[in-house]
Amino acid sequence: MGARENDNRSEGLRFNGKDIQLAVKMLDKLEATIDIIYYLMENENQQAFVLMLLTAKDVDLNTLLDREKRETDILFEIDKEEPLYVMLCQDTKVDGGYRFAERLIRNIQLDQGSDIYCTELEVRATHYTPKQVILKLLETFAKSKLSNKSNEIVFRSLQ
């Protein structure tokens, strides 16, 4: 039996079944919150925000992230099994988000954590839908895992 047509394609990113299930969880947990942040950006002069998608093994990631976040940061547990978390950092730009991610990775390593993947997406404007923002974050994360960018911070900006 030959390969199916989609199995032979290599260009571009393809979400597998697990990625699509993950996208559904992320949309369910994050979409309304991003809508509220957009309202604050448009009406209350809130600046850019950063979404961080983070996973690590051999460490209590939930406790570490909860301890490190600011009062204005919002932590979402996406998948306990992975473990996979999203942190929404309000009023944060690229430099602040990057320094925060560096500190988190350093602390995960100090706690003997392994297989660390960290993707950040800075959102500066509200013209992307929350769904587009979430899917772009997941796409960037999936690409970083495919490229084996463990212990690195993969950062993108949406302007």
pTM for the full predicted model: 0.87
pLDDT for the residue numbered 48:
93
In sequence order, what are the residues at sequence separation of 6 or more whose Cβ sits closer than 8 angstroms to the Cβ of residue 13? 139, 142, 143, 146
Amino acid 1: pLDDT: 45
pLDDT at 11 over 70: no
Of the pLDDT bands very low, low, confident and very high (cuts 50, 70, 90), residue 15 is confident
Q: What is the CATH number of domain 16-158?
A: 3.30.70.270
First vs last C-alpha separation in the chain? 46
What's the gap between Cα 149 and its chain centre?
Answer: 14
136 pLDDT above the threshold of 80: yes
Q: How many residues does the chain have?
A: 159
- For 48-82, the pLDDT digits (tens) are 999 999 999 999 999 999 999 999 999 999 998 88
pLDDT the model gives residue 72: 94
The rounded distance, in Å, linking the Cα atoms of 8 and 12 is 12
Q: Between residues 45 and 87, which one has the greater pLDDT? A: 87
Give me 121's structure tokens: 């997406």
> What's the gap between Cα 156 and its chain centre?
10
What does residue 66 show for φ and ψ, rounded to 5 degrees? -65, -35
Retrieve residue 46's tokens: 């809130």
What is the percentage of the chain residues whose pLDDT exceeds 70?
Answer: 92
26-55 residue pLDDT tens:
999 999 999 999 999 999 888 899 999 999
